[in-house]
Amino acid sequence: MVHVGDEAPDFTVPLAGGEAYNDLTEFTLSDRIGDGPIVLAFYPAAFTSGCTEEMCTFSDRLRSFEELDADVYGISVDLPFAQNVWIDEEDLSIPMLSDWNHEVIRTYDVVYPDMYDQVEAAQRSVFVIDDDGIVTYRWVRDGDNPDFGTLVSEVRDAVADARE
- Active-site amino acid positions: 51
First vs last Cα of the chain: how many Å apart? 25
Where on the phi/psi map is residue 57: left (φ > 0), alpha (ψ -120 to 50), or beta? alpha
- Of 24, 162, 157, 158, which is closest to residue 100 (Cα–Cα)? 24
Query: Strand locations in 49-154, DSSP E?
Result: 71-76, 96-98, 111-115, 119-122, 125-129, 135-140
User: CB-based contacts of 158: which residues, under 8 Å, 6+ apart?
Assistant: 128, 136, 137
